[in-house]
Structure formats: C-alpha cells, structure tokens
Chain A
Amino acid sequence: MTSLENGINAFVEQIDTPIASFFNSCVHCGMCADACLFYTETGDPKYTPIHKLEPMRRVWKRNFTFWGKLAAMLGLSKPVTDAELEEWEPLIYDSCTLCGRCSMVCPVGNDITYMIRKAREGMVAAGHAPDGLKGATVRAVEIGSPMGVTWKTVQAQIKHAEQDTGLTIPVDVENAEYMVLMSSMEVVNFPEYMGAIARIFDQAGVSWTLCSDAIEATNSGIQIGSSDIAAQLVQRIVDGAEKLKVKTVISPECGHAYTAIRWEGANLIGRPYSFKVLHILEVLDELREQGRLQTEGMETAKLTFHDPCQLVRRGGVVEEPRRLLNMVASNFVEMPDAGVWNWCCGGGGGVSANERADELRLKVFSRKKAQLDAVGVETLVTACSNCRIMLEDGAEANNMDLQIVGMAETIAAHLPTKTSTTATEESSS
C-alpha cells in the first residue's frame, strides 16, 4: 500500500549524485521563479520551481548531509510529514508541466525539472498523486491507453483513414523500416494524423507499420512519476518493436511520449533498444533532406509554430519544424521566445490530465496568449497533440480566432496530389 514511509523511502532511493549535488549547489537566487510561467502569471512565490522540491530537499538534508544527520540525531529537525506532502501535491503536480525552462536558467546548472520528475516518485509512493493522473495511469496499465482507447477504436480509425486516403494502413508488418506509435489523443481527437502519415509515407516510399500490441506512445507512468509503471508501459513498445523487428520507432506528435520512449525508456527497462527512436518531425525532416518528401503550393496565411517543451528543451528538436514549415508556408513568423526558450502551453507533464489543475492552467495560458498576440497569426502549427488540446482550450477560453493544426497534416495537405502524379506517370510512359 502507498504510505508516507514508502514515499520517504522512494525520495531516498531517488536522491542520486546529480540530485544531491543540485541541492548542495542551490544558491537560492530565485532565477528559476522568473522562468516558470506558473510564477510569472500568478506572482505567487510558492510557485518558485526549487520551492516545489522542499520536502525532497529536507529528506536529502536529513539523510545525506552531516549537519542534517546531526540535527536529526539530536532531534533538532522534524521529519517530513504526510500533511506536508499533501500540501505540496498541487505544487508538484498541478503547477509543474516539466517544461524545463527553470533548468535552462539555473546559474549553477541544476536540472530542476529532472528533480521534480524524481520527486514525483516519492509523491506517488506516498499516495499523493492527483486523482486525474491516477485514473489515467490505471487506464494506461489496464486498458492500454490513458484515455481508455482500445485496439478496437484504433481499428475503426484505420478503416476511416483507409477510406479517406485510398491507401492500406499496414498493421503488424514484420521488418518494416518504421513502426508508428500514436497517442490516444490522436486516435480520438485528431484522426487526421494517421491519414497524413499514410499519405506522406506512401509518397516517400517508406515501409512502415502499426503494431496491434503497441500503439500507445504516451506514458502516464512518467507523468505520475512511477518508474515501475513507466517501465511497464515502455516495455510494451519495446516488445512490439522487437517482435516486428523494425529499424526505427516513431514517436508521434506528443511531447512527453518522446521523452519517455526516446530519453527515459532504455534506462527504465535497464537495457539498450535494438531499434532507433525518432520523433515524427525528425523523420519528416530526414525525408525532406533525402529529397523523398515533395510538396507543392504554399500556405499564404500568416502562421507560427508552437515548440512543444519536450521537443526543444529536453529533446533538441529545434530546426526541423522550421525547415519543414518553410517548405509549405510563405508567411511563417516566429513568436517572441520561440525555440528553446518557448513558453509552455500550460498543459504538459500531466497537468492536462489533472482536473484539479484546470483553472490554474487556463489562468497561466495568459503567457501563451501574450506570445500569440505579439505576432497576430491566423494559424498555429504545433507538433504535440497535448499542446494542441491545451491551445484549443486556451484559445476558446480567451475568444481567440485561431486555427490550430498539427505539423504532419500541414505537410500532408501540400503533397503532390495522387492523381496528378499518376497522370504524369501515364503521360510519360
């Protein structure tokens, strides 16, 4: 059973050398506050990123420092209580999207985001995770998707996509070059993704497949902070990919799924993969570079790109979307702070799965709104379904007239039409 004791034990377990040195190095400068949209948009000092780690810091001090141990021995310091963990729960889960901006500004190089990710391990073991995330996690483990999407639902989408595109969606094909993962969000809310991928890959002539055992790319274990569950979810993908013997697994338009499968996954399961992991943006840019991605026509509407945090800051995918957009858009403008300094939409890191945080995430959307207002675009392109949902919520709440689309479908809309290709082939033959 989850308990305070298990939670404290998990904190101790998670305090590795980097975390110990980070706590030791903090100079209390407060620069992380100004990097966090939960602080800038509310002005409440409790949202200072490093402050969100106070319970973990106290566990570190009591267990790993000379003075802390001495104080604990002499009864001069109080251990972290269950009530304190409860008080910190909203700080760790509701007001942190793991966006990574604080880690970027820390003058002593503390990776605060990594620390919060680790602190969540203790919180979930102590039973202090938000109900919304718990539910999503349970569904991910038991049904296979945080939104409760089953293979049956996916099959229905496959059928629609095949009808729309006139192409066959390959399923469980062995030795394909790419295995495509999806997020539940794409299955339920943005079915256009599957069709877009099918058309792009068809045009580029790449072999790909879906895997009926491993379609879901998102990882609620990462968001709630349970490595046990996260490893279990990653293992499904690894098993599926290895069964089909694919060369590359493609993370869909989702931020944390990319972090989970690309950066944390191998560490979670404790061994290297037998395949490569790329984000769909990286794959598209590779195809573009190889000349296999051809487009025609240009979007003339003024548009901008919202960088998903996990892609730019944790993943380093910065130039790829810009190169792709420049292929299909003639009036592409950048928001202030675009790229590695982009501001989070406010719904990442499990915040959008946590109903308790709804009011707060819509409040802090003011930062994104200010960024968008500065450029005044008609279309907003992004590459994360979770960002996309949050941006839609935010735009609606603020009465913003904005069309929000995904990158893959934007590219797919400018593929040379099948008929014209065929006509050319026929005329030339």
Chain B
Amino acid sequence: MKKQVTLGEQLRQRGISRRTFLKLCAVATSAMALPPAMIPRVAAALDKAVRPSVIWLSFQECTGCTESLTRSHAPTLESLIFDSISLDYHHTLQAASGTAAEAARDKAIKDFYGKYLLIVDGSIPTKDDGVYSTIAGRTNIDMLKEAADGAVAVVAVGTCASFGGIPYANPNPTGAVPVSELVTDKPIINVSGCPPIPVVITGVLAHYLTFGEIPALDSFGRPLAFFGESIHDRCYRRPFYDQGKFAKSFDDEGARSGWCLFELGCKGPTTHNACATKKWNGGVSFPIESGHPCIGCSEPNFWDGGGFYKALSTTTRPLANWTGAAVVTGAAVGAAAGVAAKRKRSAAKRAHHTVTADELKKKEEA
C-alpha cells in the first residue's frame, strides 16, 4: 500500500499555489454555507486531509450524474478534489476493465475496510432477484450490500440513488428502489437532483473531509446547506410572482418579459435545491433563467408529479373568469328556483282555504 499523500501535498505537487488553494477553500466554505471565519479551518483540514479511498458504484442510471461532474470547468474545486481523493473504482472513468476493474474494487474494500466512502448513483432493481441490472455477473443488490458493509458512509448521488428517480417512476417495471431501502445500518447522504449540481456533490465531500462527519440533513436526508431553501424563495423571478405577473405561454409577452413561470408548471415553490443560488455550467444560469420552469428534479417522485407544465395549483386569476361565470349561472339558477318556489307559494296562497269557526264547530260535532 502506497504512502498516504495529503490533499495539500497533492495540490502543491500539481503546482497549485497556497493563494489559489485558499481561494478555493473560500469558495468551498461559502458553498457549504459556512461563515467566512471557517475558511482557515477548512483550508487546514483540506491541507491535511489524507486522500480517502472512494468507491463509486453506478447502477440503474444514465451516467448523467457523472457527466454533470466531469463537464464542470477545470480547474474548479470539484475536479481538484476528485484528483485528490483516491477514486479506487468508478467503472465509467477508470482505465481498467473486466477482471482487473473488479479486482480493484475488491482490493479497495479489503484495504480500506471501514474507512472508505461509498458513492452510489442510480437506483437498484429488486424485482425478479435483481436480474435487470448486473455487473460482471453480479446483481446490483449484491454489489451494493458488499460495498456498503465496509463503508464509513454512503453518498447517494442523484435522484435515482436518493429517491428511486426515473426507474422508480410508475409503473416501475424493475422494482427499482433507492439506496436507503437496502442500506439501513450506515449514514446516508442524499445528494438529489437529476443531475445534482457539481458543487453540491463536491461540497458534501469537502464537508466530510473537513469535519470528518456528515453534514446536517433535512427530512429527506439531503444536506441542509444546499437543500434548505426552495428554488422559489431564492428565484430572481420571485418579485413577479408576488406582483401576480405570470407568463401564460412560452412565447407571450410575459415570457419575453421574464415573468414568473408558475402558471407554466414551475415546481420551484415545492422544490428544494441550490440551483437559484449556485447555478449551473460554472455559474452561468439555471433552468428558470433560460425560460423553462423548474421540473422539481431534486424532490421524491418528481416524475409522477402530474405533468411538468401543469401549474402546482390554479391561481385566482384564471379562476376569476370562471368564478364570474359560475356566480352568474348560480345566481340565475337560484333566481329561477326562487321564482319557481315563489310561484308555488303564490299558487298555494290563491288556493288558501280560510279556516272558519263554523267549520271547526262542524268538525267538532261530527
């Protein structure tokens, strides 16, 4: 086993100056929503961090999560950290193939048992004993269980690994399940999103390297630092929502003026992610900024949410037209019913039988 090289040594070997390193630490610190006072601590921790062994398992997935990470621009912190961890197994990125690849994984599990981080992307098919996805003749279930046994923690990257994602969507033909349904005895961090934001993935890893523990999580097991707020609450189009200015179609005046996409089905109000603040493609933009509603990809069951272009709830504005018509119809029906009832009573009044003492007497005598 080679000598453990620290992250700091590694970076210096690669010609990264102390100044650049600190800048990167500042970015990482702010990405993790930690106060600026924490930058020296992050830097110290990252400098001394021993390259941890990481095993990355890909199951029922589209490789989009890996793509998201690799397409990010260098030299960002994410690519550096990935250079600086010992990524001992990643079947898309590794050079080895076949028996050699499998041997690398077995070795990492054995050498770093109880210390390595396990990253999983993709859901795990469970139907028919898991035959719908196998690697080297082994089912995903089998492989996940073996790798999870020796892991210090599991990071479920992407919505498929976190919540089942697209394979899990109705009718879920492969019986796909998220990692959390199979691994119950290890800490799991769900980094959801389809795909997740690169800096979110690396931010979680940086947190782990810095503090040696998993970050604070929300009720869905997602790091609060990135998933604590909704897209809607941090959206730059939010003022239009507050003013009731909505785009009604993708080519109307409202859309061109950059108004709120709520009525076009934006799931921003119910979606928790960092898109509106961290953005994509090196901070260029995020979907809403490109004129498309949020589809809510980082939430459980987003695929079965009832249509990407269907508004979350009907606003009062289109309802106002309906209400007007309904009020008029209701009033007309009510008035008609009232007239009918009144006519009936008037008829009854005309047919009124006057009760007289005489007839009470007759009846009494009868």
Q: Which residues of A contact B (CB under 8 A)?
A: 1-3, 6, 9-10, 12-13, 15-16, 20, 63-64, 66, 124-125, 127, 129, 131, 134-135, 137-138, 140-142, 224, 226, 228-229
Question: Are B341 and A20 touching (Cβ within 8 A)?
Answer: yes
Q: A9-B348, A12-B348, A13-B348 are in contact. Are A125 and B360 (CB under 8 A)?
A: no
* Selected A-B contacts with CB under 8 Å, 23 pairs: A1-B359, A1-B362, A2-B353, A2-B363, A3-B353, A9-B351, A10-B348, A10-B353, A12-B344, A12-B345, A15-B345, A20-B341, A63-B344, A66-B337, A131-B364, A134-B364, A137-B360, A140-B357, A141-B356, A141-B357, A228-B354, A228-B355, A229-B356
**Bound form: Cα–Cα A6–B351 in Å:** 8
Question: Are B348 and A2 touching (Cβ within 8 A)?
Answer: no
Minimum CB–CB distance from A396 to chain B (whole Å) comes to 29
**Bound form: Cα–Cα A124–B355 in Å:** 8
Question: Are A135 and B364 touching (Cβ within 8 A)?
Answer: yes
Q: Find the B residue at minimum CB distance from A127.
A: B363
Q: Does B361 contact A (CB under 8 A)?
A: yes
Interface centre among A13, A63, A135, A226 (most CB of B within 10 A): A13
Q: Does B349 contact A (CB under 8 A)?
A: yes
Q: Find the A residue at minimum CB distance from B351.
A: A9
Question: Are B344 and A64 touching (Cβ within 8 A)?
Answer: yes
Which residues 317-357 in B have Cβ within 8 Å of A in the complex? Answer: 337, 341, 344-345, 348-349, 351-357
Q: A134-B360, A137-B360, A138-B361 are in contact. Are A125 and B344 (CB under 8 A)?
A: no
Minimum CB–CB distance from B363 to chain A (whole Å) comes to 5
Minimum CB–CB distance from A13 to chain B (whole Å) comes to 4
Q: Name B's interface SS.
A: helix
Minimum CB–CB distance from B302 to chain A (whole Å) comes to 43
Q: A15-B345, A20-B341 are in contact. Are A137 and B357 (CB under 8 A)?
A: yes
Question: Are B355 and A125 touching (Cβ within 8 A)?
Answer: yes
Question: Are A64 and B341 touching (Cβ within 8 A)?
Answer: yes
Minimum CB–CB distance from A10 to chain B (whole Å) comes to 7
**Bound form: Cα–Cα A135–B362 in Å:** 10
Contact of B364 among A20, A63, A138 (CB under 8 A): A138
**Bound form: Cα–Cα A10–B364 in Å:** 20
What residues of B have a CB within 8 angstroms of the CB of A140 in the complex? 357
**Bound form: Cα–Cα A174–B7 in Å:** 118
Question: A2-B359, A2-B360, A2-B363 are known contacts; what are 8 more A-B pairs with Cβ within 8 Å?
Answer: A6-B353, A10-B352, A13-B348, A134-B363, A134-B364, A135-B364, A229-B356, A229-B357
What residues of A have a CB within 8 angstroms of the CB of B354 in the complex? 228
Q: Name A's interface SS.
A: helix
For chain B, give the interface size range.
Answer: 10 to 19
Q: Find the A residue at minimum CB distance from B361.
A: A138
**Bound form: Cα–Cα A10–B363 in Å:** 18
Question: Are A138 and B357 touching (Cβ within 8 A)?
Answer: yes
Minimum CB–CB distance from B334 to chain A (whole Å) comes to 12
Question: Are B353 and A9 touching (Cβ within 8 A)?
Answer: yes
- Leading 10 A-B pairs by shortest Cβ distance: A141-B357, A6-B353, A12-B348, A13-B348, A226-B355, A134-B360, A138-B357, A134-B364, A138-B361, A228-B354
**Bound form: Cα–Cα A127–B359 in Å:** 9
Question: Are B360 and A138 touching (Cβ within 8 A)?
Answer: yes
Question: Are B341 and A125 touching (Cβ within 8 A)?
Answer: no
What residues of A have a CB within 8 angstroms of the CB of B348 in the complex? 9-10, 12-13
Q: Find the B residue at minimum CB distance from A132.
A: B364
Q: Find the B residue at minimum CB distance from A121.
A: B355
Question: Are A142 and B349 touching (Cβ within 8 A)?
Answer: no
Q: Find the B residue at minimum CB distance from A1.
A: B359
Question: Are A142 and B357 touching (Cβ within 8 A)?
Answer: yes
What residues of A have a CB within 8 angstroms of the CB of B357 in the complex? 137-138, 140-142, 229
Q: Find the A residue at minimum CB distance from B347.
A: A12
What residues of B have a CB within 8 angstroms of the CB of A6 in the complex? 353
Question: Are A134 and B352 touching (Cβ within 8 A)?
Answer: no
Minimum CB–CB distance from A135 to chain B (whole Å) comes to 6
What residues of B have a CB within 8 angstroms of the CB of A13 in the complex? 345, 348-349, 352
Question: Are A129 and B341 touching (Cβ within 8 A)?
Answer: no
Contact of B353 among A15, A64, A125, A229 (CB under 8 A): A125
**Bound form: Cα–Cα A64–B342 in Å:** 10
What residues of A have a CB within 8 angstroms of the CB of B352 in the complex? 9-10, 13
What residues of A have a CB within 8 angstroms of the CB of B341 in the complex? 20, 64
Minimum CB–CB distance from B190 to chain A (whole Å) comes to 48
**Bound form: Cα–Cα A140–B356 in Å:** 12
What residues of B have a CB within 8 angstroms of the CB of A66 in the complex? 337
**Bound form: Cα–Cα A135–B363 in Å:** 10
Minimum CB–CB distance from B361 to chain A (whole Å) comes to 5
Q: A6-B353, A124-B355 are in contact. Are A16 and B345 (CB under 8 A)?
A: yes
Minimum CB–CB distance from A298 to chain B (whole Å) comes to 48
Q: Find the A residue at minimum CB distance from B353.
A: A6
**Bound form: Cα–Cα A129–B40 in Å:** 98
Task: Scan B285-313; emit 1 where CB is below 8 A from any A CB, else 0.
Answer: 00000000000000000000000000000
Interface centre among A20, A142, A228 (most CB of B within 10 A): A228
Minimum CB–CB distance from A268 to chain B (whole Å) comes to 13
What residues of B have a CB within 8 angstroms of the CB of A63 in the complex? 344
What residues of A have a CB within 8 angstroms of the CB of B360 in the complex? 2, 124, 129, 134, 137-138, 224
**Bound form: Cα–Cα A123–B348 in Å:** 15
What residues of B have a CB within 8 angstroms of the CB of A2 in the complex? 353, 355, 359-360, 363
What residues of B have a CB within 8 angstroms of the CB of A64 in the complex? 341, 344
Minimum CB–CB distance from B261 to chain A (whole Å) comes to 43
Task: Scan B96-110; emit 1 where CB is below 8 A from any A CB, else 0.
Answer: 000000000000000
**Bound form: Cα–Cα A417–B352 in Å:** 57
Task: Scan B164-193; emit 1 where CB is below 8 A from any A CB, else 0.
Answer: 000000000000000000000000000000
Question: Are A134 and B355 touching (Cβ within 8 A)?
Answer: no
Minimum CB–CB distance from B351 to chain A (whole Å) comes to 5
**Bound form: Cα–Cα A228–B364 in Å:** 18
What residues of A have a CB within 8 angstroms of the CB of B364 in the complex? 131, 134-135, 138
**Bound form: Cα–Cα A141–B364 in Å:** 15
